[in-house]
Structures are given as structure tokens and as C-alpha cells.
């Protein structure tokens, strides 16, 4: 029924109006092949149209935010490619049109690719140099990555590292990788460019769909872990919604429009908090981390100090813990929490959580923060900014203390 309706509209439309506007970051060769296949599919399905269907491609650059693109660009009919998390957020914001019937979620999975490692073609990895997600990470110098706050692939890879064994072991592995002498890139794709230039041995990457396109790189499959999932969706408010849904039907016939696994808003917010955490402790504090690794490298007994340095931050945060140690903490806590959130329910949740047993940050705690007060805590910008600052300050102090202990020959706190 959808196919017949959309094709009927095509027959009645003026030739100049049959222009499907699609935003994508896919390379030109992939775009051309997909457009050609779509035209052939239209011709086989229904030969009587007033003119050929044309596709206008809005080419996205690495680092482009899909939500901003949908909001600011001229009316788009479809968004094709990009991380699943971006499509889930667009759906949550009501910016996607139903894919056919009134279905939820509105977007579809376009393709899945394994996440592994990219390295220069001239380098031959041995068993010792290849990272193993289930084993302790090597000392800094092997692998580099980009800022998880700006690179969805780096965040997906980091989540895989954290889920490969215990969360604490995965976090320690990321701290070791962040000690790479290359500064962590602030823009998506900069780590891959560093590998191409020979500045780093390897970096997380998606398996290429056309390995011959970049012969300077080779791909190493990673340990079993999360896939890189790309989405496709009809944008709400586009000029050709029926033609856009017809394009989805074309993709479905190729096995490229399967319904996604539903993702809760709390899961999305927990991943955003994780990006904040890694950005604060690994990227913003990388200078202090480099200094600590340098001192540990010259220490006679680095083991315990290294273990202490690679632990995740505490909850409550360090500054709150100091307030709790004072004789009269309540007024100080109330002052702080009043500055962080105007909502009384959010403030009450924070105080209860801070007064609970101390613990280290892990995925369960990030999810608790995302779910707190029906999700209102994590949406409070003042709380998010304060928490990022707390994590950065804690990491810098921790790395500086480790460096001092290493010089003095100490083993830990």
C-alpha cells in the first residue's frame, strides 16, 4: 500500500519537484551507487512517472551534529548514516517522522559494522602489540583515540572497553591508553589521520566497506564487543515525506532498514555522562596524566601507585566528601545543592545520594544519575557543568599526587 501510494504521488508530481534531499556523511562513490540503485528500483516498480527521481545530497563533515543539521539546514527529507545514538536522540526530540505506520522508534538501522583497530599497512602487528580487551592494557604508547565528547566512535569503543571485563578494569585500560604521547584529538577523525601520518601505531576504527579505498591503512578486527550501528530516518517537516518513505522501502528490500533495539532516555543520558567523565579525566587532565606516567616510568615500585592512579573518580565527589567530614555539614550541603538545581526533588535526591555509602563511578551509578528525579537532574546544565569541573579537578590532583609519590618512592595513599 505504501509503495502504491508513493508511486501515485510521483506520477502526479511535476518533474522538478521529485528531488529527494538527503543529508549524509557517506563518500561520493557510495552516494552515487545508492542513488543509481534507487532509480533502477523505481523504474522496475513503476515505469510511468513524469520525470526521473533525483537526489540532492547534503554532504556532512566529520564532527557535524545531526541534531543541529536537522534544525538549521534547509528542509531535509532524510538523514542517512551516522551513529545510532544520534538518531535515538532525534527521535526523542520529536524531529523524525514515522517510518510508514505510526511506529516507534521512527528511525531504522542502516548497517552494522564491527569496531576494531586501524593501523598503517606497512606495520605488521604481533601478539604482544595487539591490544586485548580482556587483558591489562599495556603502558602508554601503543594506541590513541579522540575525545569521546566529540567522537561517537571513540565513545562506542570506550563503552566496549568498559564492558569487556569489569568496569574498573576497563577504566584503568583507558587511563593507560590516554597516556599516549599524542594529545587526544578534539575532533572526530584526527586520531585516524595521526595513524596515517605515522604519529601513532593504531586507533579505534570501523571496518571499511571498501578496503581498497584507503590502501595506506589496514583493519584489525577487535575482540567481541559493540558494533558501530548507523541509522536512517525520515525527517519531520521535509518537503517529500512520501518519497522519503519510499526510499526507506527501497532500503528495506536491500536489508538496510531494520527496526532498531529500543534505547531508553536514561541509557542515552548515561552515555552522555560517560563522555563527560572520560573527557574530564583523560582529555582535560592529559598534561597531568603525561607527567604522572613519566614519573612512574622512572619509579622503582610503580605498581601500587599505578593502580591507585587508574581508579575511577569517587562518588560523592571529592569536594562534597570534604563537606561531609565537617562537624556541621547540612548548611554547607544545602548551599551547594541550591546552587546546582532549583528543583526541590532534584536537590533532595542529591543530598540522599551524597549521604549514602561512598563508591567509585561505574555504569550503574551513571545510570542512577541519569534516572534521578525522573531524568531532571542530568538535564540541569548547572549540575552537569559542576560535575565536569569536579571530575577534572579530581583527576588533575590525583595525577599530580601520583607523580609526587613516584618521585618520593611512595606506593600510594
Reported as type and span, the H/E element at residue 360 is: strand 359-360
Dihedral angle, C-alpha 124, 128, 131, 135, nearest 10 °: 160
pLDDT at 373: 96
pLDDT at 8: 40
Quick: pLDDT tens for 165-192.
899 999 999 999 999 999 999 899 999 9
Sheet strands (E) in 226-277: 227-234
Alpha carbon distance 70, 57 (integer Å): 14
Alpha carbon distance 80, 231 (integer Å): 6
What domains can be seen in the chain, in order of their start residue? 2-111+228-264 (3.40.190.10), 114-227 (3.40.190.10), 267-408 (no CATH)
Alpha carbon distance 44, 245 (integer Å): 17
Reported as type and span, the H/E element at residue 302 is: none
Residue reference for cell 566512535 = 153
Please, is 327 exposed, middle or buried when counting C-beta atoms within 10 Å of its C-beta (0-12, 13-18, 19+)? exposed
pLDDT at 13: 39
C-alpha cell at 7: 508511486
C-beta atoms surrounding 41 within 10 Å: 18
- Quote the Cα angle for 278-151-161, to 5°: 50
pLDDT at 100: 67
Alpha carbon distance 353, 321 (integer Å): 12
pLDDT at 7: 39
Alpha carbon distance 51, 15 (integer Å): 5
Return the SS3 of 221.
coil
Residues of the chain with pLDDT under 50: 1-16, 47-50, 124-129, 132-138
Quick: pLDDT tens for 330-385.
688 888 999 999 999 999 999 999 999 999 999 999 999 999 999 999 999 999 99
- Strand pairing report for 19-24 and 54-59: parallel
Reported as type and span, the H/E element at residue 80 is: strand 78-83
Angle between helices 363-375 and 344-355 (to 10 degrees): 150
Backbone dihedral region for residue 412 (phi beyond 0: left; psi -120 to 50: alpha; all else: beta): left
Alpha carbon distance 165, 174 (integer Å): 13
Alpha carbon distance 132, 160 (integer Å): 12
Amino acid at each position: 500500500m505504501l509503495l502504491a501510494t508513493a508511486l501515485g504521488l510521483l506520477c502526479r508530481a511535476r518533474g522538478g519537484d521529485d528531488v529527494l534531499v538527503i543529508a549524509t556523511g557517506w563518500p561520493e562513490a557510495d552516494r552515487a551507487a545508492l542513488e543509481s540503485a534507487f532509480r533502477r528500483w523505481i523504474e522496475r516498480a513503476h515505469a510511468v512517472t513524469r520525470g526521473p527521481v533525483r537526489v540532492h545530497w547534503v554532504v556532512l563533515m566529520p564532527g557535524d551534529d545531526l541534531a543541529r543539521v536537522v534544525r538549521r539546514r534547509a528542509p531535509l527529507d532524510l538523514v542517512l548514516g551516522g551513529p545510532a545514538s544520534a538518531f535515538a536522540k532525534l527521535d526523542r526530540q520529536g524531529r523524525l517522522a514515522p517510518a510508514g505506520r505510526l511506529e516507534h522508534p521512527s528511525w531504522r538501522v542502516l548497517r552494522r559494522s564491527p569496531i576494531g583497530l586501524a593501523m598503517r599497512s606497512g606495520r605488521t602487528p604481533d601478539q604482544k602489540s595487539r591490544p586485548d580487551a580482556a587483558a591489562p592494557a599495556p603502558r602508554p604508547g601503543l594506541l590513541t583515540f579522540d575525545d569521546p565528547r566529540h567522537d561517537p566512535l571513540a565513545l562506542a569503543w570506550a563503552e566496549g572497553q568498559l564492558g569487556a571485563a569489569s568496569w574498573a578494569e576497563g577504566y584503568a585500560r583507558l587511563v593507560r591508553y590516554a597516556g599516549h604521547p599524542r594529545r587526544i584529538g578534539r575532533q572526530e577523525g584526527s586520531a585516524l589521520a595521526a595513524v596515517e601520518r605515522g604519529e601513532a601505531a593504531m586507533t579505534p576504527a570501523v571496518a571499511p566497506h571498501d578496503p581498497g579505498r584507503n590502501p595506506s591503512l589496514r583493519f584489525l578486527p577487535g575482540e567481541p564487543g559493540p558494533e558501530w550501528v548507523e541509522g536512517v530516518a525520515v525527517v519531520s517537516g521535509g518537503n517529500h515525506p512520501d518519497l522519503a518513505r519510499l526510499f526507506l522501502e527501497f532500503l528495506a528490500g536491500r536489508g538496510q532498514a531494520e527496526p532498531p533495539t529500543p534505547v531508553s532516555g536514561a541509557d542515552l543520558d548515561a552515555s552522555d555522562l560517560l563522555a563527560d567523565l572520560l573527557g574530564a579525566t583523560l582529555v582535560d587532565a592529559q598534561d597531568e596524566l603525561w607527567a604522572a606516567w613519566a614519573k612512574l616510568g622512572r619509579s622503582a615500585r610503580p605498581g601500587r601507585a599505578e593502580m591507585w592512579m587508574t581508579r575511577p573518580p569517587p562518588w560523592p565527589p571529592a569536594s562534597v566528601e570534604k563537606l561531609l567530614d565537617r562537624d556541621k555539614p547540612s548548611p554547607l550541603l544545602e548551599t551547594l545543592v541550591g546552587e546546582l538545581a532549583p528543583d526541590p526533588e532534584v536537590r533532595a535526591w542529591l543530598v540522599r545520594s551524597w549521604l549514602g555509602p561512598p563508591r567509585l563511578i561505574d555504569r550503574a551509578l551513571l545510570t542512577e544519575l541519569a534516572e534521578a528525579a525522573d531524568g531532571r537532574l542530568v538535564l540541569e546544565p548547572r549540575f552537569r557543568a559542576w560535575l565536569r569541573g569536579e571530575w577534572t579537578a579530581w583527576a588533575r590532583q590525583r595525577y599530580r599526587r601520583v607523580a609526587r609519590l613516584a618521585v618520593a618512592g611512595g606506593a600510594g595513599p
